[in-house]
């Protein structure tokens, strides 16, 4: 049964300051390219938490920042957007930063990230925060973890983020490996083909169907496997389902995967099953692809329901 009242979500992971460049001509190495630059909050957990608030889901965001101006700006903006922040400021570290370079067609030419504030954090950094949040959590609470968290911290959190359901995002090919020790603890994993290759050890030319079969043998209870513009494969209750992405004009690919996760999690929080929830995620991804940045201005629950 679904409900207009959603379960709470606690998102734990990256809080970044993103700079997104949209070039007016193809980006070439070893020279500058005329571009439009936009600076916004970012990081997987942050993108998803911001989207969830837009989708009417009460969300708490847990993360690490530096003691700098970027942290102050992010805290003000995210709080004004309705997020409840639980942030650890780490002395001597800069707040996480992400730089993305997009060609005129919207495809990603290159990206860099400085996330040492979190990737080099001690595994017990969030113990106190999580203990306080867990004391008030219920069985319908959704705990969201992103793979920007160090591997040891992910193991520690999966034993403390209780009660409730655990949903994770693999983030990138390089960081997906951090989840290997917790796959059997997750209720759902959101990932793409490259991340699936990392987790399974299979070759990059392996079919999505074979990747899905290998993932189902890792201990995962359920997953959502994306493959660019190809079909999305969803495992739920031991059965594999297939969904076609929605067609849309592409302005910027930044945050589309995060939007798919957010739309899906928002539907899960309203009581939908995973295969019922994924179409809401696909609608959120389509809205984001035709917008600039990781959060589409028109994103709302009504927009997804009527897409």
- Tens-binned pLDDT, residue by residue, of the chain (307 aa): 455 678 999 999 999 998 889 999 999 989 999 999 988 899 999 999 999 999 999 999 999 999 999 999 999 999 999 999 999 999 999 999 999 999 998 888 998 889 999 999 999 999 999 999 999 999 999 999 999 999 999 999 999 999 999 999 999 999 999 999 999 999 999 999 999 999 999 999 999 999 999 999 999 999 999 998 899 999 999 999 999 988 777 766 667 889 999 999 999 999 999 999 999 999 999 998 887 666 778 899 999 999 8
Domains in the chain: boundaries: 9-305
**Cα 168 from Cα 154, distance rounded (Å):** 10
What tokens appear for 52 in the block? Answer: 């969830």
Q: Identify the three-state secondary structure at position 271.
A: coil
Q: Which residues contact 43 (CB under 8 A, 6 or more apart)?
A: 13, 14, 15, 16, 18, 63, 96, 98, 115, 146, 148
What tokens appear for 135 in the block? Answer: 């004391």
Alpha helices in the chain (DSSP H): 44-54, 69-80, 116-119, 127-135, 151-158, 173-176, 193-200, 208-216, 256-269, 274-289, 301-305
**Cα 38 from Cα 250, distance rounded (Å):** 17
Do residues 147 and 155 lie in contact, with contact meaning Cβ atoms separated by under 8 Å? no
Burial class (CB in 10 A: 0-12, 13-18, 19+), 155: middle
Q: How many residues are recorded in the chain? A: 307
DSSP state of 220: -
Do residues 127 and 142 lie in contact, with contact meaning Cβ atoms separated by under 8 Å? no
Domain at 9-305: CATH code = 3.40.1190.20
In this prediction, residue 292 carries a pLDDT of 63
């Amino acid at each position: 049964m679904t409900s207009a009242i959603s379960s709470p979500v606690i998102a734990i992971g990256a809080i970044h300051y993103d700079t997104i460049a949209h070039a007016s001509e193809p980006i070439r190495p070893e020279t500058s390219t005329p571009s439009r630059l936009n600076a916004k909050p970012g990081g997987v957990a942050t993108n998803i938490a911001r989207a969830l608030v837009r989708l009417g889901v009460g969300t708490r965001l847990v993360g690490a920042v530096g003691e700098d101006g970027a942290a102050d700006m992010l805290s003000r903006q995210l709080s004004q957007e309705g997020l409840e922040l639980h942030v650890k400021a780490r002395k001597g570290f800069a707040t996480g930063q992400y730089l993305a370079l997009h060609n005129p067609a919207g495809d990603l030419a290159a990206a860099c990230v400085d996330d040492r504030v979190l990737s080099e954090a001690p595994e017990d950094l969030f113990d106190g925060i999580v203990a306080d949040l867990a004391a008030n959590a219920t069985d319908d609470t959704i705990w969201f973890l992103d793979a920007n968290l160090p591997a040891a911290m992910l193991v520690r959190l999966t034993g403390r983020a209780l009660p409730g359901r655990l949903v994770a995002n693999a983030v990138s090919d390089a960081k997906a490996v951090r989840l290997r020790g917790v796959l059997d603890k997750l209720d759902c994993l959101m990932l793409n083909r490259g991340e699936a290759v990392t987790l399974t050890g299979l070759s990059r030319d392996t079919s999505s169907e074979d990747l899905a079969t290998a993932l189902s043998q890792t201990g995962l209870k359920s997953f959502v496997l994306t493959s660019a513009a190809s079909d999305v494969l969803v495992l739920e209750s031991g059965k594999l389902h297939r969904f076609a992405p929605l067609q849309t004009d592409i302005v910027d690919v930044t945050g589309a995967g995060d939007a798919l996760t957010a739309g899906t999690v928002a539907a899960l929080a309203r009581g939908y099953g995973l295969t019922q929830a994924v179409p809401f995620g696909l609608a959120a991804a389509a809205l984001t692809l035709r917008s600039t940045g990781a959060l589409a201005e028109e994103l709302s629950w009504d927009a997804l329901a009527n897409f």
